[in-house]
Amino acid sequence: MYQDLLLLARTIEYTPIGIVVLRTDGKVHYVNRFAEQMFNQSRETLLGKIIDHSVSDYTGKVTWEEIWTAMLQGELAEASVVIEPPGKDATVCKVQSFFIKGNENYQDSLALIFRDMTQDIRITDQIEKKNLEMAKMNSELIRSNAEWKRVSEMKSNFLSIASHELKTPLTSIKGYSDIIIDNMKDKLDGSIYRMIESINRAADRLHKVVNNILDVTRIEQKRLRLKPELLDLRAVIYDCIDELAQFSLKRNITFTCNIPDSLPSFYGDKMRMQQVFTNLFSNALKYSPDGSSVWVSVSLEESDKFHIIVKDNGIGIDKTEQKNIFYPFYEVGSVNSHSTSYSSFMGGGTGLGLSIVKGIVERHGGRIWVASDGVKENTFPGSEFHITMPVQAEIHWDDDETRALYIDRMEPQSYIEENLPHVDEKPTILFIDSDREAVEIARMVLESAFDILVAESGESGLTMALQHKPSIILLDSYLPGLDGYRLCRILRTQEETRDTPIAFFSAGTQNDEIQKCFASGADDFVVKPFSGRELVDKIWRILMKKKEGQFN
């Protein structure tokens, strides 16, 4: 028994935790060796003393005396304290206590166990400091992210507005040059005629760029609308190859297709899918040497996914650039200077094509990536563009009106020609538009087949419509004073014009603008810049539908 007690006493004495026993008056009754080290004072110095001057509360809110008194009274079991021993650095300790009830041999006492927490607290402090720094960095990141989003939105809005603004003057350039090309070839000197043709081609190119910018902003703002239908993917691909024949023949580049006859129908937007293939094929042509080949293959993966590969043996794409080329406005620098013995490849695009392709593919629930061994001097490693697309993508028509509009656009040309209405009297068109140039072009294109009336404001348009009861009204949405939408609503309430076909005539192609036109009672929409042929076709179609009673 005595041996056991001795062992216990030694254990307490040498345990690596500071143990201090206080009497009820706060004076030290016992300290073990570790406590001697913690207080940096010998047992002899500490015994019978009060240690209040060496210990303080970690938070500094209470005194050590208050702490041990509360512990003695059973009100507090644990506290964090700082021990400041003479001639030694302070240590931060967690102190736990328990009361020892006295008997005839010894008085009531308070046992205190001091655990050195300096290291832990230092680490916690560091973690807290780091957390604080991270929180600061995080809030800076959130701020710069918000700023980036704001700038990016501003850029998209700017591009969208600038592109719309460009469309109006483009209407004049394209319209007038169309008229000259169609009607004045014999009257013009050959060189002037060629210049006009060049202006016309430049206007077409600029129109494409403007449309591409609008597409990029639609994709960035998640506003790309799809009009899906069941498609024969094989036919879509072959049509796109045929469309590029003039370029592939000139460069002696052959397309080889491996597309099974028995592919299931694909549910997607025809016009957008044509855009995807035309972009990929024209890039393959653009970045390949004369006389090379382009391969197109389509296969079914797991029966519900198409895997499309467009492979060329052109200049290839550097591995580090393969992700970047799908960002808008990104062009690989080396492309501009690359040349071979056959021909030189001047990239010189806008860097928009692939970002649009990616946006369209992803909008159909698909994925696109590129594989290439990279660019090597004087060799043609080629590039392979891969697309996977669900056969039945979960996409919907965005609304019935645009569907109607779209189906209208898809009617074959022969349908229009066969069904041109035979009229004894020239129909009258009333243009209500303040854009004089556009009206002038329309007049020149249409005046042989129609009587033309023009009003430059909503108010005068209303008067003329009621007075002349035209066969069709074409009006612009942006009119000074009474705007196009309000005017259209008024026309629909008037006896004289209730059933007159009305089409909007505007540079806006945003879906909400189109919807607004239909909502205000219009029957159709003509987008500027238009070609003369487009305008004639559209107007005939509107009149024909009217005749067949489709608007009622």
Q: Which of 46, 117, 237, 335 binds ligand ADP (CB under 6 A)?
A: 335
DSSP for 374-429 reads ---TT----EEEEEEEETT-----S-HHHHHHHHHHHS-HHHHHHT----SS--EE
Q: Which of 347, 365, 381, 427 binds ligand ADP (CB under 6 A)?
A: 347
Helical packing angle, 270-286 and 353-363, nearest 10°: 140
- Give the amino acid at 372: S
Q: Which of 91, 383, 471, 477 binds ligand ADP (CB under 6 A)?
A: 383
Whichever of 352 and 389 has its CB closer to ligand ADP, that residue is: 352
CA distances from 25 to 42, 62, 114 (A): 21, 18, 19
At 294 the three-state DSSP class reads: strand
CB of 239 to ligand ADP, least distance (A): 20
Whichever of 296 and 354 has its CB closer to ligand ADP, that residue is: 354
- Residue 422 CB neighbour total at 10 angstroms: 4
325 binds ligand ADP (CB under 6 A): yes
312 binds ligand ADP (CB under 6 A): yes
Cα dihedral 398/404/408/412 (nearest 10): 80
Q: Residue number with the shortest CB distance to ligand ADP?
A: 349
At 118 the three-state DSSP class reads: helix
331 binds ligand ADP (CB under 6 A): yes
Q: Which residues lie across from 100 on neighbouring strands?
A: 109
Q: Which of 82, 276, 354, 441 binds ligand ADP (CB under 6 A)?
A: 354
CB of 349 to ligand ADP, least distance (A): 2
- Residue 42 CB neighbour total at 10 angstroms: 10
* 481: exposed, middle or buried (Cβ count in 10 Å: 0-12, 13-18, 19+): exposed
At 480 the three-state DSSP class reads: coil
Q: Which residues lie across from 96 on neighbouring strands?
A: 78, 113
CB of 329 to ligand ADP, least distance (A): 8
353 binds ligand ADP (CB under 6 A): yes
CB of 138 to ligand ADP, least distance (A): 34
CA atoms in the 13 A half-sphere facing the CB of 353:
17
- Give the amino acid at 513: E
Q: Which residues lie across from 28 on neighbouring strands?
A: 22
- Residue 153 CB neighbour total at 10 angstroms: 13
381 binds ligand ADP (CB under 6 A): no
- Which of these, 81, 76, 115, 80, lies nearest to 98 by C-alpha position? 76
359 binds ligand ADP (CB under 6 A): no
Residue with tokens 């696109």: 368
The one segment of 94-102, 144-152, 331-339, 538-546 that binds ligand ADP by CB under 6 A: 331-339
Whichever of 38 and 224 has its CB closer to ligand ADP, that residue is: 224
Whichever of 276 and 464 has its CB closer to ligand ADP, that residue is: 276
Contacts of 260 (CB under 8 A, 6+ apart): 298, 299, 300
CB of 375 to ligand ADP, least distance (A): 8
CB of 186 to ligand ADP, least distance (A): 38
CB of 148 to ligand ADP, least distance (A): 22
Tokens (6 digits) for 363: 């909008």
Output the CA torsion sign for 72, 73, 79, 81.
negative
CB of 162 to ligand ADP, least distance (A): 19
Size of the site for ligand ADP (CB under 6 A): 22
Whichever of 188 and 209 has its CB closer to ligand ADP, that residue is: 209
- Binding positions for ligand ADP, 129-148, rule CB under 6 A: none
284 binds ligand ADP (CB under 6 A): yes
Asked if residue 474 lies in contact with residue 527, where contact means CB atoms within 8 angstroms, the answer is no
The one segment of 39-47, 93-101, 267-275, 329-337 that binds ligand ADP by CB under 6 A: 329-337
287 binds ligand ADP (CB under 6 A): yes
- Binding positions for ligand ADP, 147-186, rule CB under 6 A: none
314 binds ligand ADP (CB under 6 A): yes
Q: Which of 169, 264, 349, 521 binds ligand ADP (CB under 6 A)?
A: 349
Q: Which of 82, 214, 296, 315 binds ligand ADP (CB under 6 A)?
A: 315
**Which residues would be at the binding site for ligand ADP (CB under 6 A)?**
279, 283-284, 287, 312, 314-315, 317, 325, 330-332, 335, 347, 349-355, 383
